[in-house]
A and B are shown apart, each in its own frame.
Chain A
Amino acid sequence: MKIVFASALVAVSFATQAQTLRVGLAEDPDVLDPSMARTFVGRIVFAGLCDKLFDLDEKLNVVPQLATSYEWSKDNKSLIVKLRNGVTFHDGEKFDAQAVKYNLERHKDMKGSNRRGELAVVSSVDAVDASTVRINLAAPFAPLLAVLTDRAGMMVSPKAAEAAGDKFGARPVCSGPFKFVERVAQDRIVLERFPNYWNKGQIHFDRIVYQPIVDATVRLANLRSGQLDFIERMAPSDVPQLRNDSRFKIAKIVEIGYQGITINVGKSDIAQKNPLGKDARVREAFELSLDRDAIVKVAMEGEAQPGNQWVAPSNQYYGKSAPIPKRNVQRARQLLKEAGVPNPSFTLMTPTTSDAQRIAQIVQAMAKDAGFDIKIQSTEFATSLNLADKGQFEAYVLAWSGRADPDGNLHTMLACKGPTNYAGYCKDDVEALINESRTSLDPARRAAAYDKIAQAVAKDRPIVYLYHRNWLWAHNAKLSGLRTVPDGMVRVQGLKMN
């Protein structure tokens, strides 16, 4: 009898434990307010906490989440969105058109909001009826739907947001599958199942605990010792070791972001003072000296896809007229000779992360074969951003986490007034094409515009794109229902421990 009772106890306690999903994050998220948030890792937590108007599927198609359908007005300057009925926020408040209006206006107007730029084109929001909202735009804006699949599309409880003011992020109230329980900074964020979730049939855990563990080796050790069920961003060097362990599985997806080298071609006077910034032939020689396959193999242990544009070659908007150039040292030398600088020298600013350091060293060695003399300047990330912003650099190893719509990877870096246009690139014809690509809703027209931009950028090289990383996830083999969406978010709907 005792044995039966003990076994039952063990079974019960196991079942209780099994209902908690423990996720290891690579960093500690910042503030949990969708308007203010700015980190990639924060978006992973939001995936469990806050539903959005739209979501992405594995092929990057926009699919409804809190919306049920949408329609563009004839002039393409309004988006009419039908909303899901019967949705409530975690505090019991009703989700309706007024709530959407409140949220979009909050994203746009709140002081310190990081969503302002993404929604700059939104001029007003009308609640047509309880379940219909009309988003009016100053001009047609194709990336809007994709923008609404991220934080700008996340809906928080208006009542809770009003009450908490700028402290909302300390106790967020949304309408996602899990509600906020507690946060111990740098230790854990605990969420528990929201019983009134509109899609509760898809939720199979009672709690999720997100734990930031910065060191990839320690994160993996926690998975292997059974303290975590899932870890994001495992180190590529750990893949072979874990692949032989049947207790775990590895999932990988090519990211929507990129890794590249930004070249100062017009950000400051420095651009005209060094041959790399001044002469497009020198930049062409620099690119021809690089072997992207080898960079991927050495810097990323093969866990990335070589690329030469702001989107990966597998993306529907990749400009096929500008394919990845092959390494050609001889041609590079010839170009340098034509430019009158057979041995150009420049400084490559590099953040102190191990990826960036490895890239810089490999690039330095490869470019040397063509005659380049590259000095590596390792700089702490925040400092490097500041130097880039002031144009105090010649070339800069910089990654971008990526946005679902190609415009999010292009406009901010290469449009004349893009806030992160560190290259200082500004060409009238490219500017016109970028504007066309964002205002046209026709995918074929957009693709044609991107193809032309790709050709121009491949010639001017304000950014030498190198590769697109694989998001590497490792998890308990018993975990099923994992969806590998290229934005790198861990969607909890459908996740189950067998």
Chain B
Amino acid sequence: MLKFLLRRLATILPTLFFVSILIFGLQQLLPGDPAIALAGEERDPETIRYLREKFHLDEPLPMRYWYWASGVLRGDLGDSVRIQKPVTELILEKLPVTIQLATMAMLIALIIGITAGVVSAVKKGTWWDYGANVFALWGLSTPNFWLGILLILLFAVQLGWLPASGYVSPFEDLKANLSAMIMPAFVLGNAIAAVLMRHTRSAMLQVLSSDYVRTARAKGLDERVVVLKHALRNALIPIITLGALEFGTLLSGAVLTEQVFSIPGFGKLIVDAVFNRDYSVVQGVVLFTATVYIVLNLLADLAYFLVNPRMRVQ
């Protein structure tokens, strides 16, 4: 296992290097002069000149990459020009918010998705199965922002049960935090629940028709034990991979949900930064997200060891 881990870790460094070049390169492809975007309505030529100089915009690309990459290696992601805050500070401020949102959304997605997937596989061809499929189709075809606004109008404006938007730290007021996060988490988790349901269903159907499950049944084991202990455990392997990939999607997919619910997380941070050409923020946040994504995939690989004994033997 250690060898495997080391091998995987060794691939991470070159991946991150290429990712950093890609992030930097793509950013330069963005049309529009950041100095003009940042100079305000007045666009004073002197200010534009100053901004160009400050961000080395007149220097060649490799030099600009070097300024940025050497800063990153020292742990300095630069400052946001727009609000004069260090990018690292902004990331640390926003990260817990998006992690909480993504974790709650994933939890909701897992509970709904796996339960619906198992039920639909076990009760294949019944109304349960059709119902779960309709749910999956609905989840996949409902746009986040539409569902978000609809839920706000119902639960905040009409019923007054939940706040319409905003964020309260769980350390300040846990109840207020949960009531502010439940709607966005549901909206975000909804689409992923649908994907998970479809995958769980097909994986379960495959496993349920395999020989060892038949053997388990022939041994007279309780159906519940067969399904949950023998079948589901094996069916979970592709679901874990998917879950890890979807978690990365969640971090970036939170963009729309955070915008609709005015949650000050990563999504909002990056959208505003892109539109305002706040280069340091865009580069810092994307690099960070890419790193998280890569690490999550590594964790998913490690999780295989825990659920699949055959891999431990190999």
- Find out whether the CB atom of A213 lies under 8 angstroms from the CB atom of B262: yes
- Find out whether the CB atom of B43 lies under 8 angstroms from the CB atom of A419: yes
- Given A116-B44, A218-B152, are A225 and B83 neighbors across the interface (CB < 8 Å)? no
- Given A38-B42, A187-B262, A386-B36, are A30 and B160 neighbors across the interface (CB < 8 Å)? no
Q: CB of A369 within 8 A of chain B?
A: no
**Minimal Cβ-Cβ distance residue in B for A379:** B31
B41 contacts which of A167, A185, A400 (Cβ < 8 Å)?
Answer: A400
User: Which of A76-84, A106-114, A277-285, A483-491 is the interface stretch?
Assistant: A106-114
Q: A28–B94 Cα gap in the complex (Å)?
A: 15
- Given A114-B47, A385-B32, are A31 and B83 neighbors across the interface (CB < 8 Å)? yes
- Given A185-B83, A224-B157, are A38 and B269 neighbors across the interface (CB < 8 Å)? no
Q: CB of B211 within 8 A of chain A?
A: no
Main secondary structure of the interface of A (DSSP, over half): loop
Min CB distance A339 to B, Å, is: 33
Q: A480–B83 Cα gap in the complex (Å)?
A: 32
Question: Chain B residues with Cβ under 8 A from A225's Cβ?
Answer: 156-157, 160, 163-164
Q: CB of A381 within 8 A of chain B?
A: yes
Q: CB of B268 within 8 A of chain A?
A: yes
Q: A263–B51 Cα gap in the complex (Å)?
A: 28
Q: CB of A4 within 8 A of chain B?
A: no
Q: CB of B45 within 8 A of chain A?
A: yes
**Minimal Cβ-Cβ distance residue in B for A185:** B83
Contact with A along B87-108 (1 / 0, CB 8 A): 0001001100000000000000
- Find out whether the CB atom of A382 lies under 8 angstroms from the CB atom of B36: yes
Q: CB of B198 within 8 A of chain A?
A: no
**Minimal Cβ-Cβ distance residue in B for A166:** B84
A221 contacts which of B30, B43, B157, B268 (Cβ < 8 Å)?
Answer: B157
- Find out whether the CB atom of A218 lies under 8 angstroms from the CB atom of B165: yes
Interface size range on A against B: 35 or more
Min CB distance B61 to A, Å, is: 18
User: Which of B109-117, B118-126, B227-235, B272-280 is the interface stretch?
Assistant: B272-280
Q: A225–B155 Cα gap in the complex (Å)?
A: 9
Q: CB of B153 within 8 A of chain A?
A: yes
Q: CB of A380 within 8 A of chain B?
A: yes
- Find out whether the CB atom of A218 lies under 8 angstroms from the CB atom of B149: yes
Min CB distance B82 to A, Å, is: 5
Q: A380–B277 Cα gap in the complex (Å)?
A: 12
**Minimal Cβ-Cβ distance residue in A for B269:** A186
Give me 11 A-to-B residue pairs in the complex whose CB atoms sit less than 8 angstroms apart, sorted by A's number: A31-B83, A37-B40, A38-B40, A112-B54, A117-B44, A185-B264, A186-B268, A221-B157, A225-B160, A380-B275, A382-B36
With A38-B40, A225-B156, A419-B42 known, 9 other A-B pairs at CB within 8 A are: A28-B272, A38-B42, A116-B44, A187-B262, A224-B157, A382-B275, A385-B36, A386-B32, A386-B33
